[in-house]
C-alpha cells in the first residue's frame, strides 16, 4: 500500500488534470465581466483569465504546504524527533516549486488583466515575500551548518504566519489604469466565481492536491534517506570504521 | 514581573555599553538627511546595524553563553535584546525626523500621533523579528550572508507599511484613512510576530 501511494496519487492527479483541462476549455463559461461595455468589446481578458484555474490550484496547496511545513516544524521543536523535520523540509521544497508556478501563472494573468507582468501591489508583494522566505529556508538548510534544522524550523513557523497576510492583503483598490473589472489577480477568487466555473476550479484544486501529496511523500522518503545516510556516516566516523 | 525586571536589566546593559561608546548612535545618525522614504531608510539601517552590533558584541567577547546561563528565563534575555534594539532605533528616529522635516521642509509633524505610532510600531517589529534570528544565527559561520536572507522578507512588509503610512500623512492632501489602515496592519503584524517570537525563542536558541 505504501509503495502504491505515490504512483496512485500521480495517476489520479493526471486524470484529474486531463478532465479539468477539458472542463476549463469546453464547459466553464467565460467570465462575465461586471462591466457591460467591456463585455461588448470582448477584451482578451476573458480568455486569458482561464489561467486562474491553475493559478488557484497551485496557490491553494502552496498555502497548504507552508502550513504542513510550519506545523511539523512546531512538532519538531517540541519533540526533537527528526522525522518531523524531514516532513517540514520536504514540504517546503514542494512549496518552493508550487510558489514558482503561482508567481509565474500570476504574472501571466496580470499581463492579461492589467497589461503589465508585475505590479508592486500589496498582495503580489506579500506573495513574493512568502516565496523568498521559502527560498531562504532552503538556503539556510544548505548553508547554516549543524544548527540548520532549528533555524529552518523557526523560519517555517514564521512563514506560516505570513500566509494569512498574503490571503488577507488587498490593496486600496485596483488603481492601475488598465485594470479590467471582474476577476483580478489582487482579489480572492473563490468567493467571486460564477457557479458554472466551480466544477472546473474545484476539480483542478483536487488534482493538484493529489499531485502535492505525491510529491510530498516521495520527497519525504528521499529526505529521510539522506538524513539516515548522514547519520550512519557520522557513526562510522565515530567508530573509526570510516576515515 | 520578575521577567520584565530581568529583561530591563539585559536591555539596560546593552544601552549602557552604547551610551559609553556611542558607537552606534554616531554611525547611525549619519543616515539622517523624498521624506517618508528617507525616514524609513534611516530606520531600516538603524535596525540592521543596531541588531548586528547588539549580537556581534556578545559573540566577539564570547559572552552570549554567559548571558544565556544567567539564572533568568531566556525569554528575559530575548526581551532585553529586543527592548535595547527598539530604544536604539527610536533614538535614531528622534534625531532623524526633525532633521528631515527641517532640511526638506516637509510637514512630517502635521499629525504627530500617527507618526509617533507608526515609527514605534516599526521599531518594535524590526527589533522583535530581528532579535530572534540574530540570536539563532549567532554561532553560524555564514551568518552575515544568511541574516539578510532570513530577515528581509520578514521585515519588508514593515517598511512598506511604514512608508505608505508616512507618505499618506505628509502628502499634499493627507489621507488619514490610508495612514490608519497601515498603522493597523503594522499593529497586527507586530503582535502576531511578537507572540510567535516569545513562543519559539526558547526552543530556537540552544547553546
Tens-place pLDDT, residues A121-139: 777 888 899 999 999 999 9
- Measured CA to CA, the distance from residue A148 to residue A155 in angstroms comes to 10
State mean pLDDT over A91-107.
Answer: 94
10 Å CB burial of residue A4 (0-12, 13-18, 19+) is: exposed
A158–B141 CB contact, under 8 Å: no
Q: Determine phi and psi for B160, rounding to 5 degrees.
A: -60, -45
Q: Does A163 touch chain B (CB under 8 A)?
A: no
Q: Which residue has the higher pLDDT, A96 or B104?
A: A96
Dihedral of the alpha carbons of B73, B75, B80, B81, in degrees to the nearest 10: 120
Q: Does A154 touch chain B (CB under 8 A)?
A: yes
Nearest CA in chain B to A128: B153
- Measured CA to CA, the distance from residue B53 to residue A141 in angstroms comes to 25
Residue among A122, A144, A172 whose CB faces B142 most closely = A144
Best residue in B132, B154, B186 to probe A by mutation, most A CBs within 10 Å? Answer: B154
Chain-centroid distance, C-alpha B24:
13
Q: Number of CB pairs < 8 Å for A and B?
A: 73
> Chain A neighbours among B 160-199 (CB < 8 Å)?
160, 178, 181, 189, 192-193, 196
- Measured CA to CA, the distance from residue B83 to residue B66 in angstroms comes to 19
Quick one: pLDDT band at residue A157, thresholds 50, 70, 90?
very high
Cite the DSSP H helix spans in chain B: 2-21, 23-29, 35-60, 64-69, 74-103, 112-136, 143-170, 176-204
The answer on pLDDT for A43 being more than 90 is no
Q: Does B102 touch chain A (CB under 8 A)?
A: no
Cβ–Cβ under 8 Å, residues B170 and B109: no
- Measured CA to CA, the distance from residue B65 to residue B59 in angstroms comes to 9
Q: Which residue has the higher pLDDT, B139 or A1?
A: B139
**Winning range, highest mean pLDDT, from A30-34, A96-100, B37-41, B73-77:** A96-100
Nearest CA in chain A to B156: A129
At residue B64, the pLDDT reads 79
| Residue listed under C-alpha cell 506560516 | A160
10 Å CB burial of residue A200 (0-12, 13-18, 19+) is: buried
Cβ–Cβ under 8 Å, residues B119 and B93: yes
- Measured CA to CA, the distance from residue B108 to residue A61 in angstroms comes to 44
- Measured CA to CA, the distance from residue B127 to residue B202 in angstroms comes to 17
Q: Where are the domains of chain A?
A: 2-170+183-239
B145–A143 CB contact, under 8 Å: yes
> Which among A210, A209, A204, A211 has a CA at the least distance from the CA of A190?
A204
State mean pLDDT over A22-42.
Answer: 63
Quick one: pLDDT band at residue A185, thresholds 50, 70, 90?
low
Q: Which residues of B touch A147 (CB under 8 A)?
A: 136, 139-140
B200–A77 CB contact, under 8 Å: yes
- Measured CA to CA, the distance from residue A87 to residue A142 in angstroms comes to 16
**How confident is the prediction for chain B on average, in pLDDT?**
83
The answer on pLDDT for A71 being more than 80 is yes
Q: Does B207 touch chain A (CB under 8 A)?
A: no
Q: Does A75 touch chain B (CB under 8 A)?
A: no
Q: Which residues contact A139 (CB under 8 A, 6 or more apart)?
A: B146, B149
A151–B137 CB contact, under 8 Å: yes
Kindly report which listed range (A140-144, A145-149, A172-176) carries the lowest average pLDDT score: A172-176
Residue among B153, B178, B200 whose CB faces A133 most closely = B153
Contacts 24+ apart (CB under 8 A), B94-101: B95/B25, B95/B29, B95/B32, B96/B29, B96/B31, B96/B32, B96/B33, B96/B38, B96/B39, B96/B42, B96/B43, B97/B39, B99/B32, B99/B33, B100/B32, B100/B33, B100/B35, B100/B38, B100/B39, B100/B42, B101/B35
B139–A147 CB contact, under 8 Å: yes
At residue A210, the pLDDT reads 94
CB atoms near residue B77 (< 10 Å): 25
Contacts 24+ apart (CB under 8 A), A8-14: A9/A210, A9/A211, A9/A213, A9/A214, A9/A217, A10/A210, A10/A211, A10/A214, A12/A207, A12/A210, A13/A207, A13/A208, A13/A210, A13/A211, A13/A214, A14/A207
- Measured CA to CA, the distance from residue B119 to residue B127 in angstroms comes to 12
At residue B121, the pLDDT reads 95
User: What is the distance in angstroms between the Cα of B31 and the nearest Cα belonging to chain A?
Assistant: 26
At residue A180, the pLDDT reads 44
- Residue-wise pLDDT tens digits, B79-119: 999 999 999 899 888 888 888 888 777 777 878 888 999 99
Residue among A125, A145, A154 whose CB faces B132 most closely = A154
What is the DSSP-derived secondary structure letter of residue A176? -
Q: Which residues contact B15 (CB under 8 A, 6 or more apart)?
A: B84, B87, B88
Nearest CA in chain B to A121: B160
Share of chain A above pLDDT 70, in %: 80
Amino acid at each position: 500500500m505504501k509503495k502504491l501511494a505515490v504512483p496512485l496519487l500521480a495517476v489520479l492527479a493526471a486524470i484529474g488534470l486531463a478532465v479539468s483541462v477539458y472542463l476549463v476549455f469546453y464547459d466553464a463559461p467565460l467570465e462575465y465581466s461586471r462591466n457591460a461595455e467591456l463585455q461588448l468589446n470582448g477584451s482578451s481578458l476573458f480568455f486569458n483569465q482561464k489561467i486562474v484555474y491553475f493559478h488557484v490550484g497551485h496557490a491553494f496547496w502552496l498555502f497548504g504546504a507552508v502550513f504542513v511545513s510550519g506545523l511539523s516544524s512546531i512538532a519538531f521543536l517540541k519533540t526533537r524527533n527528526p522525522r518531523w523535520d524531514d516532513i517540514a523540509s520536504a514540504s517546503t521544497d514542494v512549496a518552493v516549486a508550487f510558489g514558482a508556478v503561482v508567481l509565474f501563472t500570476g504574472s501571466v494573468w496580470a499581463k492579461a488583466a492589467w497589461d503589465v507582468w508585475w505590479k508592486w501591489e500589496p498582495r503580489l508583494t506579500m506573495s513574493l515575500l512568502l516565496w523568498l522566505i521559502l527560498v531562504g529556508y532552503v538556503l539556510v538548510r544548505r548553508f547554516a551548518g549543524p544548527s540548520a534544522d532549528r533555524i529552518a524550523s523557526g523560519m517555517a513557523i514564521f512563514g506560516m504566519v505570513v500566509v494569512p497576510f498574503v490571503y488577507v492583503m488587498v490593496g486600496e483598490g485596483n488603481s492601475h489604469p488598465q485594470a479590467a473589472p471582474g476577476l483580478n489577480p489582487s482579489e480572492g477568487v473563490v468567493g467571486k466565481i460564477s457557479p458554472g466555473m466551480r466544477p472546473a476550479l474545484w476539480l483542478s484544486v483536487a488534482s493538484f492536491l493529489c499531485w502535492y501529496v505525491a510529491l510530498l511523500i516521495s520527497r519525504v522518503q528521499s529526505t529521510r534517506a539522506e538524513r539516515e545516510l548522514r547519520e550512519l556516516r557520522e557513526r562510522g566516523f565515530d567508530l573509526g570504521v570510516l576515515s | 514581573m520578575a521577567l520584565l525586571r530581568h529583561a530591563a536589566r539585559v536591555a539596560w546593559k546593552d544601552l549602557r555599553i552604547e551610551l559609553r561608546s556611542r558607537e552606534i548612535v554616531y554611525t547611525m545618525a549619519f543616515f539622517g538627511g523624498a521624506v517618508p522614504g528617507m525616514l524609513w531608510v534611516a530606520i531600516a539601517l538603524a535596525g540592521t546595524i543596531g541588531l548586528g552590533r547588539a549580537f556581534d558584541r556578545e559573540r566577539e567577547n564570547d559572552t552570549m553563553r554567559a548571558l544565556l546561563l544567567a539564572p533568568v528565563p531566556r525569554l528575559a534575555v530575548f526581551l532585553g535584546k529586543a527592548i535595547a534594539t527598539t530604544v536604539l532605533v527610536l533614538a535614531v528616529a528622534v534625531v532623524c525626523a526633525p532633521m528631515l522635516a527641517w532640511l526638506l521642509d516637509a510637514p512630517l509633524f502635521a499629525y504627530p500621533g500617527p507618526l509617533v505610532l507608526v515609527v514605534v510600531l516599526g521599531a518594535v517589529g524590526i527589533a522583535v523579528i530581528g532579535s530572534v534570528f540574530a540570536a539563532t544565527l549567532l554561532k553560524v559561520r555564514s551568518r552575515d550572508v544568511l541574516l539578510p536572507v532570513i530577515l528581509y522578507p520578514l521585515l519588508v512588509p514593515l517598511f512598506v507599511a511604514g512608508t505608505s503610512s508616512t507618505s499618506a500623512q505628509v502628502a499634499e492632501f493627507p489621507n488619514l484613512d490610508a495612514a490608519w489602515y497601515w498603522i493597523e496592519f503594522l499593529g497586527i503584524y507586530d503582535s502576531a510576530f511578537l507572540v510567535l517570537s516569545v513562543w519559539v525563542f526558547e526552543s530556537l536558541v540552544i547553546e
